[in-house]
Structure 1
Amino acid sequence: MAVTAFILVLLGVSWNVMGGYAGIFSFGQAAFFGVGAYVAILLTQHGVHYLLGLAAAAGCASVCGFALVPCFRVRGIYFAIISLALASCLGVVANQKFPGGSGGVFADLPFGAYSAVPYYLAAGCAVLGVAVSLIVKVSPLGRDLSAIRADQAAAESVGVNAMRCKLVATLIGGGLAGLAGGVYATTQGFVDPGTVFNSNYSLLPILVCVLGGLGTVSGPALGGAAWSILNEVIRSHTTNGAYSQLLYGAALLALALFLPRGALGIRFRRQPRSDLDRKGEAPEPERIPTSSRKQSRQAGADHLTSECESVSGQAAVRKVLDV
């Protein structure tokens, strides 16, 4: 359970860098995870030290992020569908062309069956992922990503290179997801396309981030731990798969209703938000009253409203960038 929880935390961190920081709503984490798992287990099979295998897994998965560059032209649900399609296609290719085919690849574990190394390895990689996420968050890159998430057009108008920032976020997120896949392969000793390219590894990171707190540093860690505990409790108290799914659905519905901003949103619930914090919008202009000169004043109000709408995105971005 502990190793699985740490892997889930690392996957959540990888998606949070892309989706929580930059607003890149991707369903392609399974592709990075699967590539990392295959690279790690193949290198372990050929006698390479497992730490070098993990580094290679993260690097190869990160390079795969370049495949999403043409997809940056679209956003939102369209990007999500394209990334999901690419991940599914890679799973089909792995099933036909990767070593072992649909039967998968086996490798001897680099440590004993009852060793504590897997737990320390998974925990260390999870901590490393959170540290990378923190560095990105407080760096100028994190500031630019926040501006892109608020309003990409406005961010570009004040000098932010959105394409470059999105690419860097994707490479970092893909590398962390590949590292999670490498940890999985190293601790399990077996990978197959149906497992490591499963769409669950694209959906669970999103769930973990939403559960813990989207766009926060500690949110994926909190969400991964909470989901692992919830999963274990439900599994230990139910034997019928249908009841388990029902409880999962009820738990997620309760979280969506009572914790819409995630677990970390509890401490912000009673804090008033400024006008610029509400969806990144500038304060609405005061309405110009209409009295005797109704037509002229209405025209002035329309002009003022249009002007405010044109600069509202830039106002939010300038607040993020402290311009």
Structure 2
Amino acid sequence: MGEFELIRHYFAAASCAQGGEGVALGIGDDCALLAVPPGEQLAVSTDTLVAGVHFPDPCDPFLLGQRSLAVAVSDLAAMGATPFAFTLALTLPTVTADWLQAYARGLNQMAQACDVALVGGDTTRGPLSMTLTVFGRVPCGQALTRGGAQPGDWLCVGGELGNGAGALPLVLGQRTAEPDIAEPLLAHYWSPRPQIDLGLALRGKAGAAMDISDGLLADCGHIALASGVALHVERDRLPLSKALVAFLGRANAAHAALSGGDDYVLLFTLPSVRLMALQAEGWPIHVIGRVVAGQGVALLDSDGHDITPKIRGYQHFRETP
């Protein structure tokens, strides 16, 4: 099967490739044409996932299809943008019909859940990897960024932490667990749900925001640097799931939450008045610390002592001692 036949058969025919709001021209030409309404800006983000680095190889292609799109769309949620389109550049070592059918089905299912249309991409031969570029729209001046945290703000997250990292021993086949423990952890790893609605609710309210992908402490560092402030994280306020604590124990669960990554929940800062209003509306907001004057990130124990670990999260090119 040739490149263009592959695209037509497995991707162009999918329901997520049939266009939608904001898509003037989708798959089938040299470029897609996207339409952004007056008064709005285009938000764009690109994620690459490489076999053996971002996901185990082999793995279930249906689940991989879901994960590969979800982690990209999460960046749009972090900006308070409404997702509407994406492209896929897929590199394959070989063409296997069953694998492609399952991957495309998982991709399509997540695309429908996130309401995004596949508008183009590329296929090549080589080691298995995929690059997804996602497009969203946001009213001018309302995009959430990492640079708006202010001393006195609360430091918050949009859900439980550590489930993605905690699932890794299960994903890699290193451990097993009872279904009531394994299933929620594996679901979080393979099918994270971008917090699109929460991102929209935070427009005009959050000081700074981003999604957690490389570990809570590492990603707090990005906000602290961009905003010119210090962030104090309180270890005892970390929201940990029952499944994660049952699987790893509380100490290891806390470590997964702090440094493990793969959470894809929102990390943001809020003034007190905004926090109370959003909580009253029922949003899943957990306060985990404060923004203070200074620089950097500190992890505090119950007595307020600094217990910040040296390794704070995942980095692709960290030099080993």
| Structure-1-length-normalised TM-score | 0.26
Greater relative contact order (Cα 8 A, min sep 6): structure 1 or 2? 1
| Structure-2-length-normalised TM-score | 0.26
Give the greater-gyration-radius structure (CA).
1
Name whichever structure is richer in strand by fraction.
Answer: 2
Name whichever structure is richer in helix by fraction.
Answer: 1
